[in-house]
């Protein structure tokens, strides 16, 4: 089971010191032209800009490379299948299907865009600690209930994961070894059912404890969000980058 901690949100880099709201708005400005880019040049510019941004955030390289590999499993899948159905000039034949030059060009474009978007998300969103993310989203005008859900879901992820691992340990202690059979699926289903029952009961206790402490349906944000000159400069740069991608796309 993958770890649920957020090592990328720890750091003192230039990006980490930006206001989380500015980082989220910057991601919006950057993501739209990347997602809609239709030319290789615009996508390549997006990839370069995102890589520069990530370099500024100075994340641990090994972790980013491992995640980059995971993201590119999907693009590898596109490289296999898209050129087989795109019409165009055949590079080579695979049985009745032709692997086309146009399809390969499209796969390249999609790969550049996906990686640019991944690098931008890694630089701008993964650098925000989840509690701050909830506050920032709420400050940007997202529904209060959604932000509460986000904050509390994240808060209990670790607790519930430990609970699940404890259940799994006790199943293993009784000789459970997962295989492809009905017994395995039923055991997982019962572990899952037990996890839901425990979560249900825990939620009741948590809610009662919240009421005891005077909870009236409002979370008070402890993160101190300050919009400063650096944030304004960053948003200006994001706007310029966005405009540059659109212009390069038009010119091509």
Q: Which x/- pattern over 220-239 shows residues binding another protein (rule: CB under 8 A)?
A: --------------------
Answer yes or no: are the C-beta atoms of 245 and 46 closer than 8 Å. yes
Q: Closest separation between CB of residue 237 and another protein, Å?
A: 18
Residue numbers 111-150 binding another protein by CB under 8 A: 112-114, 116-118, 121-122, 125-126, 128, 130, 133, 143, 145-146, 148-150
Q: Closest separation between CB of residue 70 and another protein, Å?
A: 8
List, in order, residues 6 or more apart from 131 with CB less than 8 Å away: 151, 154, 155, 222, 223
Q: Which one, 150 or 235, has the nearer CB to another protein?
A: 150
List, in order, residues 6 or more apart from 45 with CB less than 8 Å away: 244, 245, 248
Q: Which x/- pattern over 151-190 shows residues binding another protein (rule: CB under 8 A)?
A: xxxxxxx-xxx--x-------------xxx-x-xxx-xxx
Q: Rounded CA gap, 26 and 34, in Å?
A: 13
| Neighbour-count burial of 199, counting CB atoms closer than 10 A to its CB (0-12 exposed, 13-18 middle, 19+ buried) | middle
Residue numbers 43-82 binding another protein by CB under 8 A: 43, 67, 70-71, 74-75, 77-78, 81-82
Q: Closest separation between CB of residue 227 and another protein, Å?
A: 21
Q: Which one, 52 or 189, has the nearer CB to another protein?
A: 189
Q: Which one, 189 or 228, has the nearer CB to another protein?
A: 189
Answer yes or no: are the C-beta atoms of 14 and 124 closer than 8 Å. no
Alpha helix ranges (H) inside the chain? 20-36, 40-57, 61-85, 101-124, 130-139, 144-173, 182-212, 229-251
Instruction: Count CA atoms within 13 Å of residue 251 on its CB side.
Output: 8
Q: Closest separation between CB of residue 45 and another protein, Å?
A: 13
Q: Closest separation between CB of residue 229 and another protein, Å?
A: 26
| Interacting residue with another protein among 52, 76, 85, 236 (CB under 8 A) | 85
């Amino acid at each position: 089971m993958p770890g649920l901690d957020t090592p990328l949100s720890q750091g003192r880099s230039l990006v980490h010191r930006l206001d989380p709201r500015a980082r989220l708005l910057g991601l919006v400005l950057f993501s739209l032209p990347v997602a809609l880019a239709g030319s290789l040049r615009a996508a390549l510019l997006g990839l370069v800009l995102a890589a520069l941004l990530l370099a500024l955030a100075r994340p641990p390289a090994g972790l980013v490379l491992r995640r980059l590999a995971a993201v590119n499993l999907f693009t590898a899948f596109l490289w296999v299948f898209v050129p087989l159905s795109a019409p165009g000039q055949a590079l080579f034949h695979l049985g009745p299907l032709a692997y086309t030059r146009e399809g390969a060009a499209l796969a390249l474009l999609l790969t550049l865009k996906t990686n640019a978007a991944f690098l931008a998300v890694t630089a701008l969103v993964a650098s925000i600690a989840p509690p701050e993310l909830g506050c920032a989203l709420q400050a940007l005008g997202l529904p209060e209930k959604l932000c509460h859900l986000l904050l509390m879901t994240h808060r209990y992820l670790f607790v519930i994961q430990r609970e699940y691992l404890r259940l799994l340990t006790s199943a293993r202690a009784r000789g459970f070894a997962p295989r492809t059979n009905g017994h395995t699926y039923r055991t997982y289903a019962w572990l899952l059912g037990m996890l839901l029952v425990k979560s249900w009961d825990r939620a009741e206790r948590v809610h009662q404890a919240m009421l005891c402490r005077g909870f009236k349906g409002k979370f008070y944000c402890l993160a101190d969000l300050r919009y400063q000159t650096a944030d304004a400069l960053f948003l200006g740069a994001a706007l310029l980058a966005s405009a540059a991608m659109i212009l390069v796309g038009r010119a091509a």
